[in-house]
A and B are shown apart, each in its own frame.
Chain A
Amino acid sequence: MNKLFRRRAALTLAIASLGGTFSCKDYLEVPPVSTVDTQYVFSSLDGTTSALIGAYDLLSGDQTYGQRLSSYYPYDSDDIQVSGGTTLDQGRRGIARFVLDPNNTELLAPWNALYQGVERANVCIANIPKSPLYTNGTAAEQAAMKAMYGEALTLRAQYLFELIRNWGDVPAPFEPAAATPDLRLPNAPRDATYERLLSDLATAAPLVPWRSQAGTASERITRGAIKALRARIALYRGGYSLRSSGTVERGSNYQQYYEIARSECADIIVSGEHSLNPNFQTLFKNVNELRVDNSEIMFEVAMGGAAGSSDSKLGYYTGPKIDPSSRYGQGNPGINPLPTYFYAFDSVDTRRDVTITYYSIGSTNLQSPAPLFSLTDGKFRRDWRVPLLPGTVQYLGYNWPLIRYADVLLMFAEAQNELAGPTATFGTAAINTPKLALEAVRTRAFRGNTGRIGTTPTDKGGFFNMLVNERLLEFGGEGIRKYDLLRWNLLGQKIAEARTNLLALKNDSLTKPSQIYYKQVGEGMQLTSFYKPRRATVPTGFRTTPVQWLRNISTTGIGAYASGFTPGKSELLPIPQVVIDNNRNLRQNPNY
């Protein structure tokens, strides 16, 4: 019996050992080798860099800053409107004229792309700190991993910020989707999301080096960009927006956020890492000549690859109209600066002829004037490209600047003015008052005529009004104006003003020309004055056929401009219908 027992015991042991040579968990854990899983990616610097590049990817391309976010969404505003006059559609014109519903065809893809960006950033944010290199790598590896963590936080902030300023209280995922039990996220209150982003960016900034320590000049994010974005988000947090209640309200405790903006901007100014390009035209020619200038352009979207997923249509969809058979290649602009915007510039302000183009180029490369109501913008123009790119290719590789140092100066001016007034000092930098900051920007613009910059008001209200105007002049065509007006709660008012001013301008033929004359000078042209009434006779050597100027402003055109703007509704875009249909927890924006 004893023997029998031993045999049984031996058998039991034998079976147990068969089963026990491997543990169940190890045996069933089969890592993929032909495909790459997330854990593997974040186990190396190269892999992490690639994943981060994947998170950057969504900034570029047609659906985001390559076209939709840079050229469709920021208009109509008091600087620029979308082309097409009275024609309405369920696309870009519907958006521009504020005549749109949730089925507008240009809403879904940008929405999806931005959230794809959020997701990719979330994957990086969740996984980088878990990487062995983050905690146990060499000092250099740890620093690199931390910097990338900071970049990922910044990218997520940028994507979510773009979502919020267009759509308001949008879902805000802060975890990778695969780790989210219920993907039907509800609307998240924007103030709370902004708080989180501000805190994320505060975490991120110290992890990422300033541009001088970042090695070779690159289009990656540096500390200055993070601080500038934090300042911008703080101003939006402290600014007005259309709430889900249907009223436009300012964020609570707004001064607190103006303080954040002020301090971040002051940090940047005092760091000396960034500066204004002395020449406004060179600044943008650099973009058109595909040169990196990360001194003034602190945060930009890198474009390239001549594909809808990675490039931009800047210079094709913006800039002057150019015949495809010219040596420059095709320019097919879809946006038009308002005539009032043209006349908002001082005649010696160098920004006017960079921001606005009043010519088109024909098949034989000759310029001819564009009529006043069909002016085109000019910061991104194909005829400036180096090297030239003939033909009908629509992708020119032009980067999209997100934040310039000029914006930092003006944000500082705005915040400090609001908190302490135009001449109150803050910090120890050479530029430490709102007045100095604004004048730095204005002086650069009046290069060659700095004496004409005028007097900066020293009262808070007067300074604010001047700042509102200065930002209009500085940032035209950079997709900033409409959102500035929204956070100041001035969009409706400024649209109404623009409409009134357009009508007034149309009838102002006593001080402005109703028609202008031009003559060819080489491939360029010489024009009669924009600031005098129409000449009674054709100047010698000029073409006898005049170009319509004030007369070109049509009343129906004025009527069409931003025609559907409805306060309490138009401040936000509608959430795409498909998105609402797919998520019962989501609420549509007011009045859509």
Chain B
Amino acid sequence: MKKHFLLLWLLLFGSIGLVAAQSRQVQGIVKSAEGEALPGVTVLVEGTTNGASTGPNGDYSITLPAGSDNATLRFSYVGYVSQAVKIGSQSTINVTLASDSKQLEDVVVIGYQAVQRRDVTGAVSSVSAQQIKDIPVNSAAEALTGRLAGVQLTTSEGTPGAQATVRVRGGGSITQDNSPLYVVDGIQVENALATISPQDIQSVDVLKDASATAIYGARGANGVIIITTKIGREGRTVVNYNGFAGVRQLSRKLDLLSPGQFIRFQYERAQLAGTTAQSDFKSTYGTSRYDSLSAFDNLPTLDWQERIFGRDAFQQTHNVSITGGSKGMNYALSLTRNTEDGIQLGSSFDRYLVNFRLDNKVSEKFRFGFNARYNVTRTLGAGTNSTGTSQTSRLRNVIEYRPFEFVGGVVQNQDAFDETQAVSGARLGNPETLINQEYRNNSQKVLNVNGSAAYSLLKNLTFRTTIGVETANTVQNAFNGPVTPVARQNGNLPTASISTGEQITLNNNNVLTYNLTKGKHSFDALLGEETYQIVNNSLNIGVFYLPKTITAERALAGINQSAPPAGVQPTFSSPSSKSRILSGFSRLNYSFDDKYLFTATFRADGSSKFADGRRVGYFPAASVAWRISKESFMQPYSSTVSDLKLRLSYGLSGNNRIPNDQYRSLVGVQVPAITGSGTTASSYWLNETGVPGLANTALANEFLRWETTASRNVGIDLALFDNRVQFTVDAYYNNTYDLLLSQAVPSTSGYSVQTQNTGKTSNRGLEFQLSGTVFRTTDFNWTANTNLSFNRNRVESLGDIQSFNFNSNWAGSDGPSFDYLIEVGQPLGQMYGYVNKGFYTANDFEGYTSGVARPWKPKTGVAVNPNAFAPEGPGDVRYEDLNGDGVINDLDRKVIGNANPKFTGGLNNQFTYKTFDASIFLNWVVGNDIYNANKIEFSSALYPNTNLLASAYNENTYRNTDPVTGQLVTDVARLNQINQNATQAAPSRGRYITSSDAIEDGSFLRLNNVTLGYSLPKDLVQKLKITGVRFYVTGSNLYTFTKYSGYDPEVSARRSSPLSPGLDYAAYPRSRAFLAGLNLTF
């Protein structure tokens, strides 16, 4: 039978051309049930590839060969129930398509397979193009923020092209990468959100529980984000233009001291700091008389925030796509160009994207597809952040640099380098000068090519193979001019570095699928094999001591011009690595009467990251669903409850996102020092000559295996009123075990620590998704969807220890010894520090003795820090003596904040009224703490001549100087008199201390996006011979309701480690955008 069918098909196909002469025409109009013409409906003669698609008015025309009277025309359109009409002798066939109540469009890709959403038995969150089409953004991460229950996307900062931290259900790993796995059109892709244009996304499905992710085995523990790109539909070529342009503006500024306040504070600081500081003050500002300071009151304020971040940063995006198809071949070609200036001077982002996708159905049995994506990104500008410490932060220059340009009665040349500010310990530089001196040019080129072929071996058995190659080339050029902090450590001469990287990934999977439906039994099975390889090669070179006046361009083009002193080498490295995974997997789906659904998956993964014999891990999962709505006892309610399904799942998945070669004994010339800090050379000096020795750099652990997550999920899907309202709730409990931690080992081994699989964490949570049509009339339509997620993270075990601490190190040696505590029984992200207890008053001290190390002697019972960098006096910040030992020291610290939100969510509303449309998107995070390190630094006067936050020094601040004379007051009674209304501590002159004052509530509700659109009426459009025209305006990040005092509560400045979430230090300030755009469809 099969063979005959094939023969018949070949005959038909081959005969089309021959019989065309005797053909006839059939035409008609396709409309929706609401009477609206439907463009783009596929019209196909059943059993042939002869087809057409409807035009803008829903009209079609198709040529039929003679003898087609018995043929059937099939009308199909996404979201509508397809309809078949016998042709007979009719020459006009008008059709009305009913919308598909079986859940519009809802196909969900769950890994190597797409299924109807209604058949899903695991926890999956999805976003479709429809939901994000109103959000004209350039970053896929931004487009998805707040839209997916159980998925927290935090864009690390406001810089254009910023990376996002993505956490699916909290993330289980403590020390390793918690990033999810990305699969784009069936191919595993590293960091997909950075290389895909939001305009090209058709749908995003996030697999959250192990029953869904276990099919991805060792790479599935952090969730799987499956992205499907747009593809054309058979019948008609559609050209789309989507363009928008607009500006971004700094959304919030920090209030700083005015010139008058600044100079008075510096005066007071100098009085407190002593005679050297006073003479420095005089030489810097040209006066030592307090009464002359009023001259500064009238100086115009140099608002560096305005100068650096104040511009209206222009951005534009143009996207042209051509989609269409004919005779079994569908394609989509999309070209995107973004240019975006950062709000910071000198920063910009520039990107070209090409996406091409082709699907070809050669025959009923064989189809193949091809997909190519090319992405060129260039980012200019150093940003504000750096992974280093406060000395290399750039935001601080903007905040702390002197806010006026008259010093000592002389107008300062703002372009010139100001030595006085640079040499004071603060090492500040004029932010404008530094922007020109710190040149950064990062470019990335990513080419992703993949192809797939599917062949139906039997009626129910299909073999599909997919192969994908991605090459990502990055070049990071950096140049530091002579006045930058880096150059100042290298002979005040410029430095330059070029880092290039190439990552080649190769992915191939081969899958057999079989399905069988017999009566009420439906069964399908999948069996597959996959290989995945990543190769990384990089070449990094850095030089110091370039000629003083060299430009960035010349330095980077002629890096050999450096002339270092003898013994100082340029730095260079060429690391290269490769890792591979070989896997086999299978899935079984069974359903009975569409009522009882069962899915089991199993995957075996072998990874090169583990030792021979321990490479293979097994990841089973199973889930069941019960469609309660199909039970007879539910039939009375069937008009209300269109679908009700209960889901249960359990499964294992792994995380092998760990560095390569952890299991292997690696050897090097530098080894960890015996004393525990730093490294030493393992050389031995034979005959007075150093002979390099080799030794193991760490204690390898050949027993290493995957971090594994066991996940349990229970969920309910409920659809009401003919699917008008859809509600999903999921509850989950995930344990992650075998976490990789550095554990102390007996030193008789020759080592002090070893990476071992010992830790355990858990995440439990609840997720709600609600979507529906709130209001629907012919003219007005209002749909809304909302999600709400609760997650509780807990460290269950750290192996042999109960806790360890972590230093985010934002301030280097000027900062705390550590500021995060990881503790069994508590969540990750606990901030650690002192508890504020107001400030010392003069009454806390016996009195003042000049010329001694601690001029104010504390009274008995008043706890001070005996080793304070700046000994305490009246007005200084006071910390709680938690252990009551009478001194303030490291033992008086405790957990003072928690970066984990209580819940997060989003609410999207979309409205249409006639040809107007609008959407409002809100998202929120509630109950998290932010560690505002900016505030600590910008409220402290550790170094002289730094500007402060206005909140740090105002009329409520404790004063140590006489308001009339400006002289230091050392008399207790007088201090009490001056400060009778003081409510706030004086700015600290000590090192930066993490205390409860710096921990702020990070809750926010953001008016993320408001869009208004207008489409030209159909009749007008038709006259223009186009399909559709829509204009829109959008405002992004319009307003944020928050108590947070920093730039923005959505921040994670140290994303490289999962141990220090919620830290705000030197992050690039976020901006708000106003955009106008145009959609054109031909």
Q: In the complex, are the beta carbons of A123 and B665 less than 8 A apart?
A: yes
In the assembled complex, B683 has its CB within 8 A of some CB on chain A: yes
Q: A34-B574, A34-B575 are in contact. List 14 more A-B contacts (CB 8 A).
A: A25-B612, A30-B660, A32-B577, A36-B694, A37-B661, A40-B667, A47-B694, A51-B694, A53-B683, A53-B692, A112-B674, A123-B665, A178-B699, A303-B685
The answer for the CA separation of A407 and B414 in the assembled complex, in Å, is: 76
Digit string of B350-376 for contact with A (CB within 8 Å is 1, else 0)? 000000000000000000000000000
A176 touches B744 (CB 8 A): no
> What's the nearest-Cβ distance from chain A to residue B463, in Å?
7
Most buried by A among B512, B577, B582, B688: B688
B residues 675-702 touching A (CB-CB < 8 Å): 675, 680-696, 699-702
In the bound assembly, the distance between CA atoms of A18 and B510 in angstroms comes to 9
Which one of B612, B683, B750 lies within 8 Å of A177 (CB-CB)? Answer: B750
Cβ proximity bits A1-13 to B, threshold 8 Å, 1 near / 0 not: 0001001100100
Among A51, A108, A118, A579, contact of B695 (Cβ-Cβ < 8 Å)? A51
The 10 A-B residue pairs with the shortest CB-CB distance, nearest first, are: A119-B750, A304-B685, A54-B693, A53-B693, A177-B749, A54-B695, A309-B680, A50-B694, A30-B608, A583-B746
The distance in angstroms between the C-alpha atoms of A583 and B749, with both chains bound, is 11
| A4 CB to nearest chain B CB (Å) | 8
> Nearest-CB distance from B943 to chain A (Å)?
32
Most buried by A among B608, B674, B684, B747: B684
B577 lies within 8 A of A34 (CB): yes
- Nearest chain A CB to B332's CB is how many angstroms away? 29
B608 touches A29 (CB 8 A): yes
* B572 nearest CB across to chain A (Å): 13
B563 within 8 A of A: no
Q: Does B457 contact A (CB under 8 A)?
A: yes
| Complex Cα spacing A171 to B699, Å | 18
Q: A292 to B688, alpha carbons, bound, how many Å?
A: 10
> Does A115 touch B at the CB level, under 8 Å?
yes
Which residues does chain B contribute within 8 Å of A55, judged by CB atoms?
693, 695
Question: B748 contacts A173, CB within 8 Å?
Answer: yes
**Given A30-B660, A119-B749, also A53-B687 (CB < 8 A):** no
Q: Are B688 and A290 in contact (CB under 8 A)?
A: yes
Q: How far is the CA of A461 from the CA of B669 in the complex (A)?
A: 53
**Bitwise interface map of A from 308 to 320 toward B, beta carbon under 8 Å scored 1, else 0:** 0111000000000
What chain A residues lie within 8 Å of B687 (beta carbons)? 218-219, 292, 302
Q: Does B167 contact A (CB under 8 A)?
A: no
**B748 in contact with A35 (CB, 8 Å):** no
- In angstroms, Cα B463 to Cα A7, docked, is 13
- Contact of B529 with A by CB under 8 A: yes
Q: Is the CB of B580 within 8 A of A28?
A: yes
Contact A309 B693 (CB under 8 A): no
Taken residue by residue from 112 to 123, chain A's Cβ proximity to chain B (1 for < 8 Å, 0 otherwise) reads as: 110111111011
Q: Mark A35-74, 1 if CB is under 8 A from B, else 0.
A: 1111011000001001111111101110100000000000
How many Å from the CB of B885 to the closest CB on chain A? 21
Q: In the complex, A41→B695 CA distance in Å?
A: 10
Chain B positions within 8 Å of A, measured between CB atoms, are: 457-458, 463, 510, 512, 529, 531, 574-580, 582, 606-608, 612, 615, 660-661, 664-669, 673-675, 680-696, 699-702, 744-752, 754
Given contacts A305-B683, A310-B681, contact A582 B695 (CB under 8 A): no
Interchain nearest-CB distance for A177 vs B (Å): 4
Which residues on B sit within 8 Å (CB–CB) of A305? Answer: 683, 685, 690
User: Interface centre among B667, B674, B687, B689, by most A CB within 10 Å?
Assistant: B674
| Cβ B660 vs Cβ A177 within 8 A | no
State the CA gap A310–B1073 with chains docked (Å): 60
Q: What is the minimal beta-carbon distance from B502 to any residue of chain A, in angstroms? A: 14
Q: A24 to B584, alpha carbons, bound, how many Å?
A: 11
Chain B CB within 8 A of A446 CB = no
State how many angstroms separate the Cβ of B455 from the closest Cβ of chain A.
Answer: 9
> Contacts of A177 on B, CB cut-off 8 Å?
699, 745, 749-751
Interface centre among A8, A47, A54, A180 (most CB of B within 10 A): A54
Q: Is the CB of A56 within 8 A of B749?
A: no
Determine if A33 is an interface residue (Cβ-Cβ < 8 Å). yes
A344 at the binding interface (Cβ < 8 Å): no
Shortest beta-carbon distance, B504 to chain A, in Å?
Answer: 14
Would you mind naming 14 contact pairs between A and B with Cβ atoms under 8 Å apart? A11-B457, A25-B612, A27-B582, A28-B608, A28-B612, A29-B608, A32-B577, A34-B575, A34-B576, A50-B692, A55-B693, A179-B702, A185-B748, A310-B690
B457/A7 in contact, CB under 8 A: yes
Q: Are B612 and A29 in contact (CB under 8 A)?
A: yes
CB distance from B540 to the nearest CB of A (A): 12
* A441 → B minimal CB distance (Å): 28
Given contacts A7-B457, A302-B684, A397-B688, contact A51 B693 (CB under 8 A): yes
Q: Check B510–A112 contact: CB distance below 8 A.
A: no
Interface set, chain A 168-196, CB cutoff 8 A to B: 170-171, 173, 176-180, 183-185
B666 pairs with A37, CB closer than 8 A: yes
Within residues 102 to 145 of chain A, which ones have a CB less than 8 A from any CB in chain B?
A: 108-109, 111-113, 115-120, 122-123
CB distance B750 to A118 under 8 Å? yes
Q: Are B685 and A176 in contact (CB under 8 A)?
A: no
Is there a chain B Cβ closer than 8 Å to A19's Cβ? yes
User: A307 on the interface (CB 8 Å rule)?
Assistant: yes
Given contacts A36-B667, A290-B688, A311-B685, contact A582 B674 (CB under 8 A): no
Is A19 in contact with B529, judged by CB distance below 8 angstroms? yes
Give how many A-B residue pairs fall within 8 Å (CB-CB).
Answer: 207
A285 at the interface (CB under 8 A from B): no
Task: Please state if A120 and B684 are interface contacts (CB–CB under 8 Å).
Answer: no
Q: Separation in Å of the B315 CB from the closest CB of chain A?
A: 40
A32 B661 Cβ-Cβ under 8 A? yes
Q: Say whether A519 faces chain B, with CB atoms less than 8 Å apart.
A: no
Interface residue ranges of A305-348 to B (CB < 8 Å): 305, 307, 309-311
Candidates B608, B685, B744; contact of A60 at CB < 8 Å = B685
In the bound complex, what is the Cα–Cα distance between A586 and B510 (angstroms)? 54
Residues of chain B with a CB closer than 8 A to A536's CB: none
A183 contacts B746, CB within 8 Å?
yes
A92 → chain B, closest Cβ, in Å?
16
The yes or no answer to A15 lying at the interface (CB within 8 A) is: yes
A38 and B683 contact, CB distance less than 8 A: no
Asked if B695 and A57 sit within 8 Å, CB to CB, the answer is yes
- Given A34-B574, A178-B665: A53 in contact with B745 (beta carbons within 8 A): no
State whether A30 touches B685 (Cβ < 8 A). no
Judge whether B606 and A28 touch: CB under 8 Å: yes
Q: Does chain B have a CB within 8 A of A250? A: no
Point out the residues of chain A lying under 8 angstroms from B689, CB to CB.
304
Query: Whole-angstrom distance from the CB of B771 to the nearest CB of chain A?
Result: 42
Answer whether residue A220 sits at the interface, using C-beta atoms and an 8 A cutoff.
Answer: yes
B605 to chain A, nearest CB (A): 10
Q: Which of B575, B682, B752 contacts A112 (CB 8 A)?
A: B752
CB closest chain-B residue, reference A303: B685
Question: Given A28-B582, A54-B693, A302-B685, A38 and B665 touching (CB < 8 A)?
Answer: yes
Which residues of chain A have C-beta atoms less than 8 A from B665's C-beta? 37-38, 123, 176, 178
Decide if B667 touches A178 in the complex (CB within 8 Å): no
Tell me which of A37, A108, A119, A170 contacts B751 (CB under 8 A): A119
* B606 cross-chain contacts in A, Cβ below 8 A: 24, 27-28
For the complex, give the distance between the alpha carbons of A170 and B747 in Å. Answer: 12
**Shortest Cβ distance from A182 into B: residue:** B746
CB distance from B968 to the nearest CB of A (A): 41
The answer to whether B607 and A28 have CB atoms under 8 Å apart is yes
Are the CB atoms of B691 and A53 closer together than 8 Å? yes
Separation of A307 and B687 alpha carbons in the complex (Å):
16
Complex CA–CA separation, A386 to B612 (angstroms): 55
Report the bound CA distance from A323 to B548 in whole Å. Answer: 44
Q: Which of A11, A27, A582 contacts B580 (CB 8 A)?
A: A27
Residues of A within 8 A of B699 (CB): 177-178
Contact residues in A for B579 (Cβ distance below 8 Å): 30
> In the bound complex, do residue B608 and residue A51 qualify as a contact, i.e. CB atoms below 8 Å apart?
no
Measured between C-beta atoms, what is the minimum distance from A19 to chain B in Å? 6
Contact (Cβ within 8 A) A582 B745: yes
